[in-house]
Amino acid sequence: MNIYIGNLNYRVRESDLREVMEDYGMVDSVKLIMDRATNRSKGFAFVEMPNDDEANRAIKELNGAEYSGRPMVVKESLPRN
């Protein structure tokens, strides 16, 4: 399952996010979205987890949870239209 994680502190790194998500299960990939002009984080990321049950538990427990001083938005990522 592909998971959207938003409202991240701009200092959060991909490795930090991987560590948090691995508490809930196996993580295939973490992609922190960066601004091309400034090379700074845009404050959101996508995490791919192969097990849907683990991904759903992570979404349920982390959505609204505070991380690095900000409440995270965690939900299933839907394809672009």
The pLDDT tens digits for 57-73 are 999 999 999 999 999 99
Rounded Cα–Cα distance for residues 3 and 55 (Å):
8
Residues forming a β-bridge with 32: 45
CATH architecture of 2-75: 2-Layer Sandwich (3.30)
The pLDDT tens digits for 18-43 are 999 999 999 999 999 999 999 999 99
Domain ranges of the chain: 2-75
The pLDDT tens digits for 1-22 are 999 999 999 999 999 999 999 9
pLDDT higher than threshold 90 for residue 80: no
Residues forming a β-bridge with 6: 73
Q: What pTM value is reported for the model?
A: 0.93
Q: Helix (H, G, I), strand (E, B), or coil: what is residue 14?
A: helix
Give the pLDDT score at 52: 97
Give the pLDDT score at 47: 98
